Amino acid sequence: MSTEPPRNPLPPFSKATAEEKARLAEDGWNGRNPAKVALAYTVDSKWRNRAEFPQGRAQIEEFLTRKWNKELDYRLIKELWAYTDNRIAVRYAYEYHDDSGNWFRAYGNENWEFDENGFMTYRHASINEKPITEKERKFRWPLGRRPDDHPGLSDLGL
């Protein structure tokens, strides 16, 4: 049994708490701190992210470190799609550029499952990306948390 304090909100989820959980995940990823983000997952969490299958916090942290070293000026928006007692589905988009200055927008869906203490036990991600020009960017807030008044995915037509 974990000695870590619970990660609120806890299952079973309501629409409001599922939306809150999705926003907290978005905020964490926009902070781009792999060690901190990894703490949202169980110590033995299992992922599928494209063709990678990290397991456990150490591998998740390594994965995120590689990701954010490659995907520069990363900005993400998540939107709740569906939820049940201990599962949440989100759709998301993120923008970044590579070290040559080429911009991309990635689109995806994630399915999450949580334990009773609010830690994510499973994360299944499907992601596609396309090159965009700098002028096509839609996520232009300063690095870090998306401002509350910034449009979400539906508002942006994504």
Quick one: pLDDT at residue 3? 82
Residue with structure tokens 């232009």? 140
108 within 8 A of 127, measured Cβ to Cβ? yes
C-alpha to C-alpha distance for 121 and 69, rounded to whole angstroms: 25
Fold exhibited by the domain 15-136: Nuclear Transport Factor 2; Chain: A, (3.10.450)
pLDDT of 145 strictly over 80: yes
Kindly report, residue by residue over 34-77, the tens digit of the pLDDT.
999 999 999 999 999 999 999 999 999 999 999 999 999 999 99
Average pLDDT, integer, range 8-34: 98
* Share of the chain residues as helix, strand and coil, in percent rounded to the nearest 5: 25, 35, 35
Q: Where are the domains of the chain?
A: 15-136
What is the CA 117 to chain-centroid distance, rounded? 19
